[in-house]
Amino acid sequence: MKMEKLILLGHSDGGVSTVMENAFQIFGCQVFDIIKNIDRPDCIFLSHLFKTTHFFDYEYSFDPERDFPVQFGVHHGNVKYLLYQHFKKNYQINREQYISLIHHTADFAPTASSEEGLLMEPLSLVSSMAKLGFGVTLKRGASVGHHAVLEDFATLNPGAVLAGFVTIGEGSEIGVGAIVSNNVKIGKRCLIGAGSVVTKDIPDGMIAYGNPCRVVRENERWSKISISN
C-alpha cells in the first residue's frame, strides 16, 4: 500500500530523517509535511528523493474531515509527550491518527501487541507476549524481551536490550547498548545511560547509568513538565 503523504509533528534532524526513510521503505511515501511548534531551523534533505515542506503549526490546515496519518518527527520521550499534548489540545489530533511504522527487517512477534504510533527501525525486535504502549520508539537493533511492557512514549536507542518481564515506564529512554536484566522495572520518565547494565529497579524520574547501573540524579528533562492524565 502506497502512502500519499505523511505529516510529521515536531522535528529534529535525526528524528525526521529516520522516520521519512522508514515511511519510504515501508509505504513508498515521498511527500512529507513537517509541522513545527517552535522556531528552529528547517531540516535539510536530498530533494531528489523526498518532497518536504515545513510549516509552523498555526500556518497548517488540519482538515478535521480527513483521516490523515501522522507520526512524531522526534524521538525523545519528553518531547513526544509535549507534542502529543500540544496537537491534541489545539488541533484535536488523537491517538487513532498516528500511524505505526515497522521496518520490513524488524521482527514483531505474533503474540506481542502495540498501540498506535509505534516506530520500529531496521533490525529491531519485539519478542512474544510483549506489550508496547502509544508512541513507542525502537531504534535500529533494539531488542524487547518476552513479556516486557513498554509504556507510552518510551524510547529504546540503538542496540539496547531488554530481557524478559522487564517494565519500562512512561516516557523513559534507554541509552545506546544498555542492557536491562530479567524482571527489572524502570520507572516513569527515567533516562538510562549508554552501555549501562541494569540489574535493579530504578524509581520514577531519575537519570541512572553505569555497570552496575546506579541512580545519579533527577531527570531534568521532565522536571518542569506538567503531567496530564
Residue at a domain's end among 65, 97, 129: 97
Q: Do 72 and 179 sit in the same domain of this protein?
A: no
Please give the span between the terminal C-alpha atoms of the chain, in angstroms, as a whole number: 35
Q: Kindly state whether residue 148 falls inside one of the protein's structural domains.
A: yes
* pLDDT confidence of residue 64: 63
Band (pLDDT 50/70/90 cuts) for residue 193 is: very high
Three cell numbers written together for 82: 509535549
Last residue of a domain, one of 41, 75, 97: 97
Q: 112 with 21, same domain?
A: no
Same domain, 93 and 105: no
Whether 227 maps to a domain, the answer reads no
Cβ-count burial 129-145 (b if 16+ within 10 Å, e if not): bbbbbbbbbbbbbbbbb
CA distance 207 to 216: 6
In a domain, 80, yes or no: yes
Residue-number span of the structural domain to which 208 is assigned? 101-222
Domain-embedded: residue 128: yes
The pTM of this model reads 0.92
Q: What's at 86, amino acid-wise?
A: H
Are 111 and 185 found together in one domain? Answer: yes
CATH number, domain with residue 177: 2.160.10.10
pLDDT of residue 88: 92
Residue 67 has pLDDT above 80, yes or no: no
Phi, psi at 2, each rounded to 5°: -90, 135
- Sequence length of the chain is 229
Residue among 177, 176, 184, 175 at smallest CA distance from 207: 175
Q: pLDDT tens-digit profile of 99-135?
A: 999 999 999 999 999 999 999 999 999 999 999 999 9
Write out pLDDT tens, residues 24-35: 999 999 999 999
Which of 97, 114, 142 delimits the end of a domain? 97
Domain count, the chain: 2
Which three cell numbers, joined as nine digits, stand for 33?
509535511
| pLDDT recorded at residue 197 | 97
69 and 118 fall within a common domain: no
120 and 175 together in one domain: yes
- Asked whether residue 229 carries a pLDDT value surpassing 60, the answer given is no
| Shared-domain flag, residues 109 and 217 | yes
Chain segment 147-181, per-residue pLDDT in tens: 999 999 999 999 999 999 999 999 999 999 999 99
Question: For residue 30, is it within any domain?
Answer: yes
Confidence of residue 209 (pLDDT cuts 50, 70, 90): very high
